[in-house]
Chains A and B, each alone.
Chain A
Amino acid sequence: MTPQAPLREVPGAGSPLSQAVLTGPSRQAVVLASFPTALYLSFGEHHEILPVLASDALMLPTAVRLSAPSRALAWGVQPGDPVTIGRSEIRLPAWRVRLVRQWRPARVGAFHQLAGPALLSEIADTLSRHASSAQLAEQATAVCRAARCGDHGEVHRATRRLLGAGIGLTPSGDDVLCAVLLVLNGVGEPAPIALLGGAVQDRWSSTTSLSASLLDAARAGYAVPEVAALVECALHGDLPGALRTLPPTLDIGSSSGADLVAGLAGALRVLATSNSPIPTR
């Protein structure tokens, strides 16, 4: 009998946001999509996606990150292929990822002091010039204002208009909602986050699984580092910082970066014009 060659093992770093699925009992998952830099594994509900990323991929907040670049990797799987996740490993047909450490995803935390209205307005103006569409920015303003006012009906109507609006795998409307959720996390008001997050959760199935998983992370303030840094600079009123972090955000995806910027600009308009209970500078 020919002895079976041991599986090739690659070390990986897991996000704490995915700790439960990574360290829990082994479970079946399905390959949703395979890119040179990323493998998207669907392991449960519609929004439950585990990205497995090469070192040169965008750092999605729930991902398992590998130290190897995409040019050194061949996933060896196609969409629909089964894989196993759990017990600190991801088992693919030809190799496995061994979870050896955690990495800390970027998060927009609640600010104690926001920038003043004039500065927020100036930054919103600046971001608007780079937004993908003025209409998307206006929709972000509307949904952000409705969430802060506790207008359930309008939040649900706006979410229905935005979620899944766009042809790609992270539709433009979803990116706008992500930006609004991140801004609400920065403001730190639990009620608007719960209201908008709930409305989005009710309609997970209206959008792609990858996009739903990113919205789920944004509900808790998590985002790719480039976007989190831009949101924080904007809320701080750090215009030079915003200008510095804007280009890497705009480079995300094909239109996602500019859609996120549209959402951020629209949400900032609400903060710049409302009487927030949060102290400003």
Chain B
Amino acid sequence: MTDLVEVRRGAYYDSVSLMQVSTAVRGAPGVSAALVAMATGLNTDLLAGMGFSVNEAVGPNDLLVAIRGEDVSAIEAGRTALDGALAALKAAGASAGGFGDAPPPRTVGTAAARSGANLALISVPGANAFVDAMDAVNSGASVMLFSDNVSVEQEIVLKDAAAAADVLVMGPDCGTAVIAGVALGFANLVRPGSVGLIAASGTGAQQIMCLLDIAGVGMSHCLGVGGRDLSSAVGGRATRQALAALGADPSTSSIIVVSKPPAADVLAAVQEYAATVGKPVHWAILGQGRPDLTAAVESALATAVDGIPEWPHWLADAPAELATPAGGFLRGLFCGGTLADEAMIVASEQLGPIRSNTPLSPDLALGPDLRSPSHLVIDFGDDSLTQGRPHPMIDPSLRLERIALEGADPTCSVLLLDLVLGLGSHPDPADELAAAIRSARTAASAGGRELPVVISLVGVEGDPQGLSACAKTLNASGASVFVSNAQATRHALSLLANTSAQEETS
């Protein structure tokens, strides 16, 4: 047997690193024993106990290396393994991974401070979201607050703190943002460009960015502000911040603001402020008597080089000669809240009051069973229907069950659906939806009636699911498919009108 004892001075390693090195040395061919350790008194004693002798003065700040092998070549193999393992530690920075390092960050603020991050995406239960969001703001980071169930009082405090820190709070309940081409939450893979979008509406923002993409126009950023931002209570705090940010952003040449119905005085004040940012600002503001989202996009595109395209659609084959229900109703089953709102606004101009779980006026609220012998629109993404379950853009099961019910309901004359593609959404939603549509139409047919189905398909070709592929799958199930939610709604209304006309004629 041959022994090697070596002292390496000024080499400080933590115990795990030294254990790894010892293991590597012991595994070298012909090595029968090895110890690599700091030369503390006990370790030199341990070495002596193993039969090694240290022939020079050592101190506890030195590194001891002891190798025992069958012969000289085994010792050389051990030494080579030692040098290789120490070099690997150095290359991996593992020698620095010891006592000098702090524990991993435990708070958003610490993580932001250590990493230099300037944006935090917070998705924790609403009761805890405020603390984390404030921590991020205090650390100089903007926040995308995905969480819902944050009180309006907390939202105001957060947004005031953000304004003071010159950062942006996107949310709460902000599901969609695109920052410099990076999609956060539910977002579509749209082309880069110079239009900046400010959105107090998630699926509204997706509708607009997809229509722009289809028109050949790209986005610089999409900044969510939370659905309540233009309410009287919140007063457009984040919208102002976002307008200022996009106004100062060199990659943004024009701005679109999209919102669910806002407080009129807040909208007026924000529009007054928008006039000062020095860039064209277009408004896609939902509300009765206002342009729908598609019309707002067309207005913004009026000066675009390529003009306004014909929005793609895939019409279903002519309906079979089946009876339609007398006095039937429109049934809208949506995943996107803003798309549901827009459908109700467009449809109510023709149909009058529409019952809903997210009604345009409180007196039109549906009961807890979500049933009514009338025109109705259900938003399956509403908070009351997502407690304890994923959003229907991820888990469509609740809506698929309702589609089956409508197929068997003789009072349902036209079924209006949406489907939102993109990152974060169900990876393959069209097949499941198409199967549900086929089943519903078959059930209706068995009941002696035709059930027209119209789909508002929000997406772009670049999305993982593929716009055209999904449209064709859905169209093959017998549905008419539109990329414009407003056009889909109007087509559904036209089918309903045809139904009524048929009834009057017969």
Contacts and interface: CB of A to CB of B under 8 A. Distances in A.
A106 interface: no
B61 A206 contact: no
Given A209-B61, A226-B103, A164 B98 contact: no
Interface string A153-176: 000000000011111111111000
Given A33-B12, A168-B18, A58 B41 contact: no
A36 B96 contact: yes
A239 interface: no
B93 interface: yes
A173 B42 CA distance: 10
Interface in A151-208: 163-173, 203, 205-208
Contacts of B35: 167
B14 interface: yes
Interface in B96-118: 96-104, 106, 113-114, 116
Contacts of B104: 251
B100 A208 contact: no
Contact of A208 (B60, B97, B101): B60
Interface of B: 9-19, 22, 35-38, 40-43, 59-61, 93, 95-104, 106, 113-114, 116
Given A58-B103, A205-B41, 16 more contacts: A33-B12, A35-B12, A35-B98, A46-B59, A53-B100, A80-B9, A167-B19, A167-B37, A168-B17, A168-B18, A169-B12, A209-B61, A247-B103, A253-B14, A254-B14, A254-B15
B60 A248 contact: no
A33 B62 CA distance: 11
19 contacts: A32-B12, A35-B12, A35-B99, A37-B101, A55-B113, A58-B99, A58-B102, A69-B116, A80-B10, A165-B40, A167-B22, A168-B38, A169-B14, A169-B99, A206-B40, A208-B40, A208-B61, A255-B14, A256-B99
A44 interface: no
A35 B89 CA distance: 12
A201 B113 CA distance: 39
A207 B96 contact: no
Given A35-B95, A37-B102, A248-B103, A169 B13 contact: yes
Interface in A22-62: 32-33, 35-38, 40, 42, 46, 53, 55-59
B60 A207 contact: yes
Interface residue tally on A, bucketed by range = 35 or more
A228 interface: no
Contacts of A247: 103, 106
Question: Which of B10, B37, B114 has the largest number of chain A CB atoms within 10 A?
Answer: B10
A210 interface: yes
Given A37-B102, A208-B40, A255 B10 contact: no
B59 to A, nearest CB: 7
A35 B96 contact: yes
A230 B17 CA distance: 26
- What secondary structure prevails in chain A residues at the interface with B? loop
A36 B37 CA distance: 22
Contacts of B9: 79-80
Nearest to B64: A167
A254 B101 CA distance: 10
Nearest to B44: A164
A276 interface: no
A167 B96 contact: no
Interface in A87-126: none
A52 B41 CA distance: 27
Nearest to B37: A167
Question: Which of A40, A169, A247, A251 has the largest number of chain B CB atoms within 10 A?
Answer: A169
A78 interface: yes
A243 B101 CA distance: 22
Given A80-B10, A205-B41, A38 B60 contact: no
Nearest to B12: A33
Given A79-B12, A205-B41, A251-B104, A167 B97 contact: no
